[in-house]
Structure formats: C-alpha cells, structure tokens
Structure 1
C-alpha cells in the first residue's frame, strides 16, 4: 500500500495533532492509502488470505461484516483494513484480526453526528486559530475526506475494540487501549472502484493521565540510567583491578 500525501489532510492533521480543550487533549489523524499492493504487502496479503480461509467458520465464509469470505473481494477488503492499521501503527501487529473484529457502518449521517459531538470543543479552538477558522472544522474534515475518497462511492468500516469473539483492545495488543483515553473513534472509508482507503481516528486523552504517564516514564528512565551508570562503574573498577 502506498501512502498518499494529500495537502488538505496534512493541514487538518497538523491541527488535530494535539488540541488542548481543557481537561482533555484531542489527538486525531487522517491518512489515505492506495490499495495497490507490492513487495512485503503483497506477500503478507497472500499469507493472510490463506489464514483467513483456514480460520473462518462456515457462517463467516457465507456472511461477515466485510461480506462473504468465500468471495475474494470480501477477503481483499478485510486484508486492506488490516494492512492499513499495520502501516499507521508500525509498532503493533494487527495480522491476527479477522472479519468479526470490524463492523460495517450503514449511516454516514450517524458517523458525522458522532464526529461533530466529539470534536465540538476542538472546533472552537479551530475557529479561533488564525488561518484555520474560515470554515467549521467538521466541514473541512468531511470536505477533505470527500476530496480523497468520494464519500458517495465508499463503504465505511470501524474496528470493534471489544467483541464476543474474545478480542479486547489493550495496551499490549494495539494503540486503542492507551491509558487515559476517555473516548475514541476510528473509521475506514474504502472506495473499491478507486482502490483507495482513508483512515480517520481521534481520541480524547485525559491530561492527568498523560502527565502521570510522563512522570512514570521519566522516573523509569532515571532509574534505568542510574543502573547503567552503576554497571559501567563496576565494569571500569573491575578493569582497573585487572591492570
């Protein structure tokens, strides 16, 4: 998959990178990719397709959130969703996700309403930021998405962060379990005809949790550094004694 550098999305991403809205920090991201596979993606796609066929139940083969998995187009959709996550979050591995870990959205209006509600406070910051507030934040977001993906021609999916199959997002398995996350959403807009996929995610992070995490990380770093210095000193002393 190839990352698509879209100036409109870059402008929005720069704003959504870290928006202070009082008790929360809002962090969002929009990334678009071409679904034309090559190299490692192509190799991984082939192995994933085999694993999906082998691990899917008869009911999933006939019906799933991405379509019947006996259909190669449905399997491709699932693989594109997985590969997109792998590209955006390279420190995590999503290859164990399957069709039941995603949900197909039927109402774009419902998505837009939820996004508007979540970004309400961030939108106020956008309006007061010089050079950005000429149009409402959500208008800019949806115009940018439509420009890249053509909403009228796209299917929309989201990752299910907890489901009956036993999968639950946590800090070790993927980034959506990040401590301090008060709310979050993630949507995949897939235009099969254009062979493009756009990912839109956002989360509201508790400031107190972020500060606690930074303090903990700092303390851990200091402890590790002190341990390394003590080990270096011990090694140096041993070398001196040998001399």
Structure 2
C-alpha cells in the first residue's frame, strides 16, 4: 500500500548569512533574571536533487503505513481517491495526540497531519505537503548536525500556522525577554525581522512549529538544564528557502554547578 505519487528526493544546503550570524552572536547565553536565554537562526536552501533517497523513501513508506492503519481504525476516513475535506478530519485519541509541551496558546496553529492524511495527487492539491514535511525533517536533522534522526517524529509534532501576525507575536514575546535582560539589544525586534525578511521574505512564507512531546525535546537531550524550547520554521517555496528559529532557556543554577 503506497501513495499514488512519487516523492522527489531532497537535500538541504546551509546558507551563510552575515545578519543572521550577527544576531546569533547577540542571542547566545544572555543572562536573564531567572534563566539563561539563547536563540539561533539558520537558513537553508531547498533543492530537489538525486540524493538523500533513503530518508525520502523512509518517510513515504511510514506515512503510507500510518494512513493504512488510520483507514482501518476509523470508518470516518475515506479511502484515497474519494472526495474529502481534509481539514475536517479528526483522529481517534488512541492514534496519537498533540503535545501541549511548549505550546503558546496565542499561536493559532493546526497539526500538519490534517493535510498529510489526504496527501496524494488529486486530493485538494495537498500532494506537495509531503515535500514540505521532508524539508522540515531535513532541516531539523541538519541543524542538530545529524545527532538525532527526525525522520520518524509524529506528524502531530509539526504544526502549521497561516498567520504571520500570530507567529510574530509569539516570537516577539521571546525577543522581549532578551531585550529586558540586556541593555545592548534595544532594537532587537526590528533587527530580527529585518534579517529574517531579507533571507526568506516573510510575506511569502508558510509557517510551522515543531512541538515535541515532553521528554522528546532534542535541546533538552543535549542540555539537561533546559527549561523550555521553541522551534519555528519559515518556508518560502518560491525562493526554495527555509529558515529555522530556535529559542531556549536554561536554569541559572545549572550554570553554577548547583
């Protein structure tokens, strides 16, 4: 049982951006009142090439197997090729959940899984969502230097938001913490959004966030003192670029060896 389309194989190339490098240096280990804040911006080009076939086929097979299971478990989900409204689908709670860990209630997002359920040519034009999912996985793999394998992360861990306004609000709330902690960052918001826009043109982007289940956060795996973390993606299909913003907080006591 496989999807009735062929996945293109992808690879990601890290993009050197002076403005992002400058911001990264300013947002590294900033001492706040009750924690140590850090953030990092990374940009990648998304190009379809004849490499990384193993990951692409692995994702294709996993999504196909999951859909087969969901079709068998839920009579409300119609077989492939049948007319359906993907956005109206809901999964039984036994099939998975949307973790609340790190979720900002003001971030109006929906699981990417809703569109992945009907992901094949001819169903609401959602065939390209598997490409997006693959790019998001590759981006995570690259930003963590392949220390983790994200190819099997639950679909509901990746959420999509169609509103730049809500994304800006969530990120600005974090940037305000940096500005409050350091007098050398008075115009951080303006510099941040100017740098991001120069790379990916936010008005043309799709927005995603990675919200891992509690205990599955890669930053917490690397730094046990991590209190919370956020992952936001800006994906410009036209420019074939993806930008990842990571932000996290660590315990002050941990830095003191307590």
Distance 1:198 1:11 in 2: 15
> Where does residue 12 of structure 1 map in the other structure?
23
Relative contact order, higher structure (CA 8 A, sep 6+): 2
8 Å contact from structure 1 (residues 161, 176) kept in 2: no
* Alignment counterpart, residue 203 of structure 2, candidates 143, 152, 165: 152
Say whether residues 1:100 and 2:156 are aligned partners.
yes
Other structure's SS at 2:153 match: coil
1:98-148 Cα offsets, whole Å, 9 max, x none, are 42221111332222222222222311455x33xxx5x61111111111111
8 Å contact from structure 2 (residues 42, 245) kept in 1: yes
Say whether residues 1:72 and 2:127 are aligned partners.
yes
Map residues 134-145 of structure 1 onto 2, 5 A cutoff. 136-145=187-196
Other structure's SS at 2:224 match: coil
8 Å contact from structure 2 (residues 234, 243) kept in 1: yes
Change (3 A) 1:75 1:138: same
Distance 1:34 1:41 in 2: 15
Unmatched 5+ stretches in structure 2: 1-11, 72-76, 81-85, 88-110, 121-125
Change (3 A) 1:176 1:189: farther
Other structure's SS at 1:91 match: coil
> Where does residue 96 of structure 2 map in the other structure?
none
Change (3 A) 1:195 1:169: farther
* Alignment counterpart, residue 233 of structure 2, candidates 174, 185, 188: 188
1:144-186 Cα offsets, whole Å, 9 max, x none, are 1111111111110111223xxxxx4436xx2245433333221
- Give how far 1:39 is off: 6.0
Other structure's SS at 2:256 match: helix
Could you list the runs of 4 or more consecutive aligned residues of structure 1 that deviate by over 6 angstroms after TM superposition?
none
Rg larger in 1 or in 2? 1
Matched residue count: 201
Change (3 A) 1:121 1:182: same
Greater CA deviation, 90-99 or 5-14?
90-99
> Where does residue 102 of structure 2 map in the other structure?
none
Greater CA deviation, 66-75 or 183-192?
66-75
8 Å contact from structure 2 (residues 219, 229) kept in 1: no
8 Å contact from structure 2 (residues 59, 151) kept in 1: yes
* Alignment counterpart, residue 175 of structure 1, candidates 201, 219, 224: 219
Distance 2:53 2:193 in 1: 31
Unmatched 5+ stretches in structure 1: 163-167, 216-243
Distance 1:31 1:73 in 2: 23
> Where does residue 116 of structure 1 map in the other structure?
172
Distance 1:188 1:65 in 2: 13
